[in-house]
A and B are shown apart, each in its own frame.
Chain A
């Protein structure tokens, strides 16, 4: 019996006769990606603990974790939420608006970074220095962001 027998809007009914193999495969894939992420997280922890941490390496690891997270998001949306099984119109109406995030993330992180630079140079009037650490604790407590 078709699962959508009561929905006249649907022109073509999906074939749900397949098994659960794909679901379990996705589960293992997500688990493996998560374990890799955790391993990278611990690697970052150990790099930070050591003498003279290599910041480029940490940044690279963080980038890898971001990419792995996007892969996880893809599998959850495509397989678990069945978006990959929908027709192209449906996929596009969801995915195209989400492209706004590309601008959203770049613009605002850029803004945050520029904010830091302005503060560290007093809006360009002195040399770049991070004096937050040297400030007495009382002033820092009052500095709210």
Chain B
């Protein structure tokens, strides 16, 4: 890991040097990520506002309770924890790639970039399965006095409050904002993961071609790493807002 020893009397703001002790590209990457944090923050806060305004919201443990190849087994939180661990692990391989870059070890960077890319693709595959499951899985809903089979989409939410109908508990339509926000926010996050994977593939190719060795530093890996960690950071909050609370 890195530590920077700086004398206390350095005149940071007198010009001639970066007041942030970082290259232009890295500072701008941080500012971009900060603005992106506000974009995601605005999405999640607007979701929270609508959720606070409703008397009833869906129970995430009831909606997200399935696992691939497990049939109708009730496994709340299982699949999403798998996705979370995939993303945390790919974050670790990314930070290890950055570490190898600091040591100018090209083989090490290549190895960890490949692992990071695989982690990203695994996460996207999980998300594709989850979306397919939600968009095609049918649930009984009581609409206008009769039972209908609904998928979870941006216009249909079959997880509303339950009422008694013909001697059994049946769900009524829930707030449609649930589907809209779920697909909007996980979709926007998934798009970030997708572009992160593309960036990482480009970085892998550039490493393989020896561009960073010629340049004398692996700072591009660091910047790609910042973006990748940010994607993980956003997932931590998406995980909190949609699956845990």
Name A's B-contacting residues (CB within 8 A).
Answer: 1-7, 9-16, 18-20, 22-24, 27, 30-31, 34, 37-38, 40-42, 44-45, 48, 62, 65-66, 69, 72-73, 76-77, 79-82, 85-87, 89-90, 93-94, 97-98, 100-101, 104-105, 108-109, 111-113, 115-116, 119-120, 130, 132-133, 137-138, 140-141, 144-145
Contact = CB atoms under 8 A, between A and B. Distances in A.
A18 B4 CA distance: 12
B1 A5 contact: no
A112 B27 CA distance: 36
B2 A12 contact: no
A86 B4 CA distance: 7
Where chain A touches its partner, the secondary structure class is: helix
Nearest to B51: A112
A66 B245 contact: yes
Given A3-B102, A94-B34, A137 B6 contact: no
Where chain B touches its partner, the secondary structure class is: helix
Contacts of A48: 59, 61
Interface residues on B, range: 35 or more
Given A86-B20, A112-B48, A18 B53 contact: no
B4 A73 contact: no
A43 to B, nearest CB: 11
17 contacts: A7-B217, A10-B23, A16-B99, A16-B103, A19-B1, A20-B99, A41-B61, A87-B4, A89-B20, A101-B41, A108-B45, A109-B49, A109-B52, A116-B54, A132-B56, A133-B56, A140-B160
Interface stretch (B81-89, B125-133, B184-192, B197-205): B81-89
A103 B218 CA distance: 38
Interface in B37-52: 37-38, 41-42, 45-46, 48-52
Given A12-B5, A87-B4, A141-B143, A6 B53 contact: no
Contacts of A3: 101-102, 104, 217-219
B193 interface: no
B102 A5 contact: no
A105 B46 CA distance: 9
A9 B12 CA distance: 11
B181 to A, nearest CB: 11
